[in-house]
Chain A
């Protein structure tokens, strides 16, 4: 079997202890939440650490506070299973519940956390491989090498943002609370990301993502669609998250259209939003908005499926999400592959 390397593990019981341990530890230090991403990565040796500080026993980081209709705060250490099962989340943010419920498998969702999912390492089929395998390609830009094998002429890394929660939270305008020994700050979830496969988070190494703050959802209509090979386990190769408000005449007054798994960060389609705002959600408007959304997606050959087809699917998935909100039939997208 694959073995974890030797490292020192701390399991503090308070946030302040965790930050103190982060600050005082020598060598490469990492935080771990549920461990469903970090441990396999460490087994394959593409992430490493001398010291790992686990947030598992920090009770203050778990739990969901607030009420449907008001602001809702979800602790970063709340498990995905708990988020998906939460009556508040299901009532006020059904797209988030759907996204979180679609992640991997039940066993993983019982361990993995919302904060961990937001900080998920970017993924690439040249990178998420064992050390021996990566030796065979002389490594890659993201870890140990000098070339991005996905795009050898490119100076940057094209690993993919694979968080399912991220595009939904971006579309909902959620904020993330970051705490460090120097103080704390709140940023929009969208600002948490950078379109770079290596340096994909704006969070500083000494900052802990403690909480996600969701604005009141009154009047917001939302949807989330996900494309992947199988109905379980697989990471997404495309997600479409949409949130919008319509006035009494059915005219869209605000719209947020976000795509996941088609770049190194969640990407927003302002072009699609511009088509929607000021119009009613007719089939024609939806098709036009969906078609406009394709431009921001830059799928490359480093996930499952062919990149040309994934690119075409952007239109269909954004269209399906919008049609769902509009109460229109969602064609015949095979349900196992969607949601």
Chain B
């Protein structure tokens, strides 16, 4: 086998579409596609980057929060009188100071900056204290007394189903079920009737948290004229801005949110957090800058991470391995608040259709409220859990049907430019090339099923959005915008609301501008993530930034280029369309000597037009779905990934070691191959963490002795995440097939490459020792138990036994495109589509009016 070469770029045979935004001719690209040093790299490695906790201001005070020590209780009294008398204390706040509810989704406005009447999990914030020093604030917090009236604790989905009282929230679809969904695309029963084989699986995916190195921090600074500025470690400054204005009851123009560089987000800083709002309120009340930096335990309580999901998957196959129908049921343990949960619930079903042909599909789901920190989006959002289930399910199907798992997938690839059964419009699909790359790289054809007992290979695939097609707050506005200011000295300042969270979004923005204007990365000055100065970008989530910011940047830069070209053409007396922008010059392509420096071009244009500034923006194309729930899943384009994992397993102990990961990612085009490969490797690392050991789990003390429900190990020592020792060598292949929607053809890379990792490991373990582990993380004891079970004549499987018996009622029926459907449901009345309580599809209903 040839030694693996990491970072190999593979261009499929077909010619790239000429229409990729920003592209002129491929050979012309000077910055895009070249490995370049990230624009924020120097500051980060030398310690110059100012993270939120690095900031300090004159007269700044420190804040700490008193958090609930009970999992579920009414607040009967709060006594802060002693705390107020403590040395150094300058301010104390409770829930009644900020009674306005909020939530990131319009349909889940169920949080308060500090708890009002109830606490819903251990760690729910109740009181805030600000003092001259952090020690004084902590001491004063200890002097606060809160009187609780405990309520019964709901610790799991099963308990939530069984327990209709007490309610954790007074809203939701049914009892303690926050959300209940049933969608049917096409004549699913007919599909199953055509199947040669029907396979069923029950799988479980444990919850995990983001574990960013940087703990959340915020500094609120009161400004003159009744204004407030909040510096915070956030992925979504725009949403923080909206919520701050609402809860503080201030005009948005008086509230400014500045997203500091984020030391790790992964979805965990895309919500609006209590401490951000309370710091702002405290600054307004005390008239002093207020800082809070959470400790590690509090970061575990903020959470909004991976939902634990139990899944039931039933699929009908033909003898050749084609899927004819599928029924997926998911049950999400949501934790104590809504957060992004309604979107998460839909996401556990939405992307099952975008990889392989699936003509008919039914999806049922519940999300339960439980007395634990709220779950939300983590890298891959809630598409990760059902992807695990599907890819292991396919591996088993391939085995039973006697088809190579790679062929089963290759034979059933969704064709490009499809509209799926659930009305997702898919553009380019590089999945086939991805599978081919990892199959070739790993020696799959020779080695799968042929390695010695204890060693195995597993293959799995995945797909992810390149930006959510619909905004959270439904509207027709652009989802990203860039403003450029051209300076007569040659500097181009780019203003954009995007938030650099380490993924390299600043570098993408600078590269897109530099590429179009033919200038160097150093000539682009960035002003980003500041709601006071920059145009709105919705934030760093759903893998939307490269595509949406990139498109907006290209548009703004092209408009600037057109202005410069007009002025320069006049000056040089050549047609504008013959001008080339490159190497910080503007010149005649027919006679490169005839030209001028970029700065002079700006001056000529400024003489002609006055001060130069341009704007660009981007709104995704409208998706074809018109049914309630169709707002979750659409994207301008989808990325694809495939992975092969090689594992060594000791059947005696169940201990295993991942030996190698081959991964191919359909990137469309890499704006910066080095950053792209970094994101792939980061996804592999995080995926292995979830596959092997990470779990956000809770302890319920014996019910006869205690009502307690606590996070089992809210510390970085005992929350196990892989170290260098566990990280195997990774071989990355980038599949480049430019997509017409992407900037220069680029797709996302921040999340998609995580998806194949967990199922590839489970499949590899089966190849190694012949047992199926139908849940993650995969502990050695599970393998050992399955091996023992198999030796005793059992089926050699470790995993959940059954999916709870839930009445999903009449599903919302949506005929598929093949059945002549138009994207609308045919039985909204009968299916009892609920009004108001439930879904973010309020907007979709409006959208459905022609």
- A125 adjacent to B718 (CB under 8 Å): yes
Task: Check A136–B726 contact: CB distance below 8 A.
Answer: no
Of chain B, the residue at the smallest CB distance from A1 is: B295
Closest to A135 in B: B69
Nearest chain A residue, comparing its CB with the CB of B654: A309
Q: B779 contacts A133, CB within 8 Å?
A: no
A50 in the interface (beta carbon within 8 A): no
Which residue of chain B has its CB nearest to the CB of A126? B699
Chain A contact residues: over half helix, strand or loop, or mixed?
A: loop
Inter-chain CA distance A3–B142, complex, in Å, is 13
Q: Check if A65 is an interface residue, CB within 8 A of chain B.
A: no
- Do A332 and B454 have beta carbons less than 8 Å apart? yes
Q: Which residue of A lies closest to B293 (CB)?
A: A1
Is B781's CB under 8 angstroms from A308's CB?
A: yes
B70 at the interface (CB under 8 A from A): yes
Residues of B within 8 A of A234 (CB): 717, 720
A229 to B693, CA, bound (A): 8
Q: Chain B residues near A135 (CB, 8 Å)?
A: 69
Asked if B722 and A137 sit within 8 Å, CB to CB, the answer is no
**In the complex, are the beta carbons of B720 and A138 less than 8 A apart?**
no
Contact A230 B654, beta carbon cutoff 8 Å: no
Complex Cα spacing A175 to B654, Å? 37
Taking a contact as CB atoms under 8 Å apart, the answer to whether A334 and B297 are in contact is no
Q: Say yes or no: B706 contacts A230, CB within 8 Å.
A: no
Please give the distance in Å from B124's CB to the nearest CB on chain A.
11
Question: Is there an interface contact between A3 and B650, defined as CB atoms closer than 8 Å?
Answer: no
CB-defined interface of A225-255 with B at 8 Å, one 1/0 digit per residue? Answer: 0000111111000000000000000000000
Taking a contact as CB atoms closer than 8 A, the residue among A3, A229, A316 that contacts B653 in the complex is A316
In the complex, how many angstroms separate the beta carbon of A312 from the nearest chain B beta carbon? 7
Q: Which residues of chain A in 130-170 are interfacial with respect to chain B, using CB atoms and an 8 Å cutoff? A: 130, 132-133, 135-138, 147, 149, 152
Residues facing B in A1-51 (CB within 8 A) are 1-3
Q: Are B725 and A137 in contact (CB under 8 A)?
A: no
Q: Are A152 and B720 in contact (CB under 8 A)?
A: no
- Once the chains bind, are B784 and A309 in contact (CB under 8 Å)? yes
The answer to whether A336 and B726 touch across the interface, beta carbons within 8 angstroms, is: yes
Task: Tell me the bound Cα distance from A233 to B657 in angstroms.
Answer: 18
B297 neighbours in A (Cβ, 8 Å): 130, 132-133
* Number of A positions contacting B (CB below 8 A): 37
Judge whether A335 is part of the interface by a CB distance below 8 angstroms: yes
Cβ < 8 Å to B, chain A residues 155-200: none
Please state if A125 and B784 are interface contacts (CB–CB under 8 Å): no
Q: Is A331 an interface residue (CB 8 A)?
A: yes
Partner of B69, one of A136, A229, A304: A136
* Complex-state Cα separation, A128 to B775, whole angstroms: 29
Query: Is A231 touching B723 in the complex (CB atoms < 8 A)?
Result: yes
CB of A133 within 8 A of CB of B655, answer no
Shortest CB distance A227–B (Å) = 9
Contact for A230 among B295, B708, B723, CB less than 8 A: B723
Contacts of B795 in A (CB 8 A): none
In the complex, whether B188 has a CB less than 8 A from a CB of chain A is: no
User: What separation, in Å, do the CA atoms of A231 and B712 have in the docked complex?
Assistant: 22
Cβ 8 A contact of A334, one of B295, B650, B701: B650
The interface bits of chain B over 725-768 (1 if a CB of A lies within 8 angstroms of the residue's CB, else 0) are: 11000000000000000000000000000000000000000000
**A5 (CB) vs chain B CBs: closest residue:** B135
Check A229 against B720 for contact (C-beta < 8 Å). yes
Q: Which residues on the A side are within 8 Å of B712 (C-beta)?
A: 125
Closest CB in chain A relative to B141 CB, distance in Å: 9
By a CB distance below 8 angstroms, the chain A residues around B726 are 230-231, 336
Residue of B at shortest CB range from A105? B723
Complex interface residues of chain A between 302 and 339 (CB less than 8 A to chain B): 304-306, 308-309, 312-313, 316, 331-337
In whole angstroms, how far apart are the Cα atoms of A234 and B654 in the complex? 19
Contact call A334/B655, Cβ cutoff below 8 A: yes
Indicate if the CB atoms of B720 and A336 lie closer than 8 Å: no
B97 at the A/B interface (Cβ < 8 Å)?
A: no
Question: Which residues on A sit within 8 Å (CB–CB) of B138?
Answer: 3
For chain A, residues 267 to 321, give those with C-beta under 8 angstroms from any C-beta of chain B: 304-306, 308-309, 312-313, 316
CB B296 to nearest CB in A, in angstroms, measures 8
Point out the residue from B654, B708, B718, B779 that lies within 8 Å of A137, measured CB to CB: B708
Beta-carbon contact of B714 and A304 below 8 Å? no
- List, sorted by A's number, 23 A–B pairs whose CB atoms are closer than 8 Å: A3-B134, A128-B718, A129-B714, A135-B69, A136-B71, A136-B708, A137-B701, A138-B706, A229-B720, A230-B723, A230-B725, A306-B779, A312-B784, A316-B653, A331-B652, A333-B650, A333-B652, A333-B653, A333-B655, A334-B648, A335-B657, A337-B655, A337-B780
- 11 additional A-B pairs beyond A130-B297, A337-B655, beta carbons within 8 Å, are A1-B293, A128-B717, A137-B708, A229-B720, A230-B720, A230-B726, A309-B779, A333-B655, A334-B648, A336-B657, A337-B780
